[in-house]
Amino acid sequence: MKIALADEMKKIDKRAIEEYGVPEILLMENAGREVASAFEEHLGGVAGKRICVLAGSGNNGGDAFVAARHLMNHGAQISIFLVGSPAHLTKSAALNRDIVIKMGLVVQVLETERDWDKLQVTLRFVDGVVDGIMGTGFQGELREPAARVVRMVNSHGKSVVAVDIPTGIEADTGRAVTEAIQADLTVTFGLPKFGHMICPGEMATGKLLVDDIGIPKALLEDDSICQTYLDEPTVAPILLPRPLDVHKGSCGRILVIAGSRGMTGAAALASLAVLRSGAGIVVLALPESLQQMMAGKLTEVMTKALPETSDGAIDLAALKEALALAEDFDAVLMGPGLGRAQETQKFVQDFCTAVKKPLILDADAIHAFGGKAEAFKDFAFVPVLTPHLGELAHLLGLKVRDLRSSLLETVRKAAREHHAVFVVKSECTMVVYPDGQAFLTSKGNAGMATAGAGDVLAGTIAGFMKQATAGLAPLVGVYVHGLAGDLAAKEKGYGLIASDILDNLPRALRTLI
């Protein structure tokens, strides 16, 4: 499934109306009816229940008027408040406003303090609220009177269903500059929006339902839309089938360069994740003083000792040996637990520039290129980077709050300018390619906010370097890692640890085979 930006969705609606002849009023009817149906299911029936419908003056408000009509027909007691000027109602919204008035409903305009008192009393006693104030065209700061309504709704804690997107959330960024409706359920139309996936938009959205409302399928699958929802139908075809004559060498030979004194766990998790993802051979190259211990700990992972610093990190003197070692492998994962000693960081920089193998860079390997991301363009292969927001901010010389304000745009620019694949870890892990294609995962949960989860992700991606269609290993890795986390969460909840994700990788992978 594609994910739309606000302008893309606007163009889709326009093409459906102008090229296919689908009347706007029909799209509004379908949208409002779907909202009413979802609300009825959400409340377990609406007969005899009191519902407050908040409508703006745009087409989002028109959808809300339609929903009010259907909810009334199903026995609900409806109160409608118009947030905005009646003179500014769009043609389709005004038509549906007139219909509900003819059905005997009152559309209360919020003009005097007495009107606001009526809203306050209504919200106190209703069973639920329909938020149809602002749609996907909203940007910036929420102004009065909408801001006042949002504060009132949130303060009452009623069950809220949002029309298309919660009021106050930007569809393209997920930002809420000021207040935003906190919905329990959002019914969106055509395609999900980027703002539904990224916080605070994701938190405000609640459960997300997507309905095509009769928009022709070809418009919703247009290749010009460069955001894709990473789900099983998208991922499964990427995984290459194994032939009968498969052997361990053909499933992927992966070199992991990781670990330092005090951070051996990261190296172990990443290496085991490579194997648990189905790769055939894994060698962990690490500081020589740690080699014996890790060889005893990692039964299936081979180990290789490299020259180290006095603090137990890989030394620059290991460069020649590491480069020679890498020649026998299909890809190199570098970074988990490496540390940030000056000699080690220089080793990372020189190794990545000289090696002629695909690279997956995580954690301290990404840190080595802080402010030096232009170096990626000189690598033999397009590297895969797996930063969390803090690491990404350091790499690009930004602050995390700057990333949050325009995450997709910023990462797209970085991927294009620095010729790298970015796997950005946040509440919704995102994969962005240099050509601008972006993929947002459908898997993962808050329990995965635990030490080592990123090391497992990096290893999972590396494990698919020879098992997936060329260049698409990050997509399979992100999906399988997220699904493994979801499987772990079913048993462990917020108490899950990184090794629980690791243990569930085979189960997650099996769903794609």
Give the pLDDT confidence of 486-495 residue by residue, as tens digits: 999 999 999 9
The secondary structure of residue 127, as a DSSP letter, is S
pLDDT digits (tens, 9 = 90+) for 199-252: 999 999 999 999 999 999 999 999 999 999 999 999 999 999 998 899 998 899
pLDDT of residue 285: 98
pLDDT of residue 513: 87
pLDDT digits (tens, 9 = 90+) for 335-385: 999 999 999 999 999 999 999 999 999 999 999 999 999 999 999 999 999
pLDDT of residue 272: 98
3-state SS, residue 91: helix
Instruction: Spell out, as residue ranges, where the chain has pLDDT lower than 50.
Output: none
> Pseudo-torsion of CA 261, 267, 268, 269, nearest 10°?
130
| Alpha carbon 60 to its chain's center | 25
In whole angstroms, give the CA distance from residue 478 to residue 430: 8
CATH top-level class for 6-224? alpha beta
CB 51 within 8 A of CB 74: no
Sequence-distant (≥ 6) Cβ neighbours of residue 464 within 8 angstroms: 239, 252, 277, 278, 279, 473, 476, 477, 480
CA distance to 10, 26, 31, 133, per residue, from 270 (Å): 43, 52, 46, 47
- Structural domain boundaries of the chain? 6-224, 248-510
pLDDT of residue 404: 86
DSSP string covering 417-477: HHT-EEEEBSSS-EEE-TTS-EEEES---GGG-STTHHHHHHHHHHHTTTTBSTT-HHHHH
pLDDT of residue 319: 98
CATH 3.40.718.10 fits 248-510, yes or no: no
253 conformational bin, left if phi > 0, alpha if psi -120 to 50, beta if neither: beta
